[in-house]
């Protein structure tokens, strides 16, 4: 193993329940991203903010945003990842889409809907993890509240990965948990852990302080920010392989069966 994966973390404010305006805003941000990036990561519900009124969003907006992601992935020759409000078969989902430069698309529906905000009442929960193979790395993307559930995010023998990615709308009052759990997920899984949060106020007055970050397999902070900007980080396969061979903690991990 000797490859690298250069990622861009877009830490941005979001325009409330306005997909077309958010796509236009992100046009400028993505256009300015370095051309040597392999993966662009956007926040949770990047086209609307964390809305609990998905019926206010036209059902067609989900596919419009996926088409938009495909267009940018092709133009920038990079993969793009982020979650959106997605309507399918009469149900709403908090769906994360991973779009490759060639247009191939994979989807993960948020497993742990945020009951504190009533997300479970308006969005259908997902039931399966997504493990992606991209440029020699195995990626496991998840969404916000999933971060609090270590068994779900566990790097198992059956569903092994190199990079764990969380996209979020994580508010300021609980940001200490975000910082701590991102680092913990990296350490316990001996994987890079990437967290992309939004910034600014949403339409309900909740404040989001950023704290987007990347941690290496030992929990060392590689990248971090509390302001509106695009962060960059280079993930290295040699680091993963060297540390896992030197510290064989994963060989002693428990196997989990989720019912």
pLDDT in tens, 135-187: 999 999 999 999 999 999 999 999 999 999 999 999 999 999 999 999 999 99
| Active-site pick, 76, 100, 140, 144 | 144
Q: Give the model's confidence band at 223: pLDDT under 50 very low, under 70 low, under 90 confident, else very high.
A: very high
Q: Where are the alpha helices (DSSP H) in the chain?
A: 19-31, 60-76, 119-122, 175-189, 237-246
Answer whether residue 170 is part of any domain.
Answer: yes
Residue 1, pLDDT above cutoff 50: no
pLDDT attached to residue 175: 98
Answer whether residue 141 is part of any domain.
Answer: yes
pLDDT attached to residue 257: 74
Answer whether residue 112 is part of any domain.
Answer: yes
Average confidence (pLDDT) over 228-246? 98
172 labelled catalytic: no
Largest Cα span, the chain: 52
Arithmetic mean of pLDDT over the chain = 97
Average confidence (pLDDT) over 48-55? 98
| Active-site pick, 61, 76, 110, 140 | 110
Packing angle of the helix pair 19-31, 60-76 (nearest 10 deg): 10
Q: Give the model's confidence band at 259: pLDDT under 50 very low, under 70 low, under 90 confident, else very high.
A: low
CB 137 within 8 A of CB 148: no
pLDDT attached to residue 81: 98
158 labelled catalytic: no
pLDDT attached to residue 129: 97
197: nearest Cα among 164, 175, 173, 222: 175
Residue 2, pLDDT above cutoff 90: no
Number of domains in the chain: 1
| Active-site pick, 17, 44, 61, 119 | 44
CATH number for the domain spanning 210: value is: 3.60.110.10
Task: State the Cα–Cα distance between residues 215 and 193, nearest whole angstrom.
Answer: 5
Answer whether residue 134 is part of any domain.
Answer: yes
Answer whether residue 257 is part of any domain.
Answer: no
Answer whether residue 256 is part of any domain.
Answer: no
140 labelled catalytic: no
Query: Residue 256: phi, psi to the nearest 5?
Result: -120, 140
- Domain of 13 in residue numbering reads as 4-251
pLDDT attached to residue 142: 99
Average confidence (pLDDT) over 199-217? 98
For residue range 61-95, what is the model confidence (pLDDT) as tens digits? 999 999 999 999 999 999 999 999 999 999 999 99
Angle CA 210–215–220, to nearest 5: 120
Answer whether residue 258 is part of any domain.
Answer: no
């Amino acid at each position: 193993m000797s490859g690298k994966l250069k990622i861009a973390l877009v830490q941005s404010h979001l325009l409330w329940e306005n997909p077309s305006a958010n796509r236009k805003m992100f046009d400028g941000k993505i256009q300015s991203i370095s051309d040597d990036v392999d993966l662009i990561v956007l926040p949770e519900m990047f086209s609307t903010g964390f809305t609990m009124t998905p019926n206010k969003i036209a059902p067609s907006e989900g596919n419009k945003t996926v088409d938009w992601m495909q267009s940018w992935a092709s133009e920038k020759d990079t993969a793009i990842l982020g979650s959106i409000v997605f309507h399918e078969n009469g149900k709403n989902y908090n769906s994360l889409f991973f779009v490759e430069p060639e247009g191939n698309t994979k989807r993960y529906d948020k497993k742990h809907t945020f009951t504190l905000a009533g997300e479970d009442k308006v969005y259908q929960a997902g039931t399966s993890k997504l493990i992606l193979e991209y440029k020699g790395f195995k990626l496991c993307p998840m969404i916000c509240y999933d971060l609090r559930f270590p068994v779900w995010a566990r790097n198992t023998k059956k569903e092994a990965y190199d990079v764990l990615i969380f996209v979020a709308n994580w508010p300021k009052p609980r940001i200490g948990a975000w910082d701590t759990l991102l680092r913990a997920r990296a350490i316990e899984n001996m994987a890079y852990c990437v967290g992309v949060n939004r910034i600014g106020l949403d339409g309900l007055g909740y404040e989001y302080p950023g704290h987007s970050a990347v941690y290496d397999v030992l929990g060392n902070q590689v990248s971090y920010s509390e302001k509106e900007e695009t962060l960059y980080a280079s993930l290295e396969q040699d680091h993963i392989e060297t540390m896992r061979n030197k510290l064989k903690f994963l060989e002693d991990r428990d196997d989990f069966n989720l019912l």
